[in-house]
Amino acid sequence: MSVAIAGFALSPVTSFAEETKAESITMKGTATCPKCDLGTSEKCGNVLLVKEGDTTITYLLAGKADMAWHKNICKGGKPVKATGTVTEKDGEKTFKVTEITITEEMEKDAD
């Protein structure tokens, strides 16, 4: 009987975890190195800068945009289109990339 109770108690936790899965999105922005290009970090890494209105949001890149991919953006940012999921922890946004491509140029603002 205690096994049935334990199984019943875990069912809502499993359902809750499934409901909180992040949805895949596509963003366009500038992928760059926070050390070499931005001077905001002590070590190389990958970030995506996305303009939202008058604000630029910085996402740490993970997944397909790993350090092997870093050579594409070190020493200077490149316009990219990236697909993946966003998570936030302690005010820091991470974009886990499943697909990323360098685009020809950034879209011009419609003024």
Q: How does pLDDT run across 36-88, given as a tens digit for each residue?
A: 999 999 999 999 999 999 999 999 999 988 888 899 998 889 999 999 999 99
The mean-pLDDT minimum among 8-12, 79-83, 105-109 falls in 8-12
Q: Does residue 7 register a pLDDT over 50? A: no
pLDDT higher at 22 or 15: 22
Long-range contacts of 35-44 (CB under 8 A, 24+ apart): 36/74, 36/75, 37/73, 37/74, 37/75, 37/76, 37/77, 44/70, 44/74
Whole-model pTM: value is 0.73
In a domain, 10, yes or no: no
In a domain, 16, yes or no: no
In a domain, 111, yes or no: no
Could you tell me if 74 and 33 are in contact, meaning their C-beta atoms sit under 8 angstroms apart? yes
Domain span at residue 89?
23-102
What value does the mean pLDDT take over residues 18-37?
A: 85
SS3 assignment, position 111: coil
Distance of alpha carbon 18 from alpha carbon 13, whole angstroms: 9
In a domain, 17, yes or no: no
In a domain, 70, yes or no: yes
Q: The domain spanning residue 60 has which CATH number?
A: 2.40.50.140
Residue 21: band (very low, low, confident or very high) from pLDDT cuts 50, 70, 90: low
**What is residue 106's predicted lDDT score, i.e. its pLDDT?**
54
| Tokens 């890149």, residue located | 61
* Count: domains in the chain: 1
In a domain, 45, yes or no: yes
Distance of alpha carbon 63 from alpha carbon 111, whole angstroms: 35
| CA 74 to each of CA 16, 69, 77: distance values in angstroms, whole numbers, following the listed order | 40, 10, 7
In a domain, 41, yes or no: yes
Question: How far is C-alpha 101 from the geometric centre of its chain's CA atoms?
Answer: 14
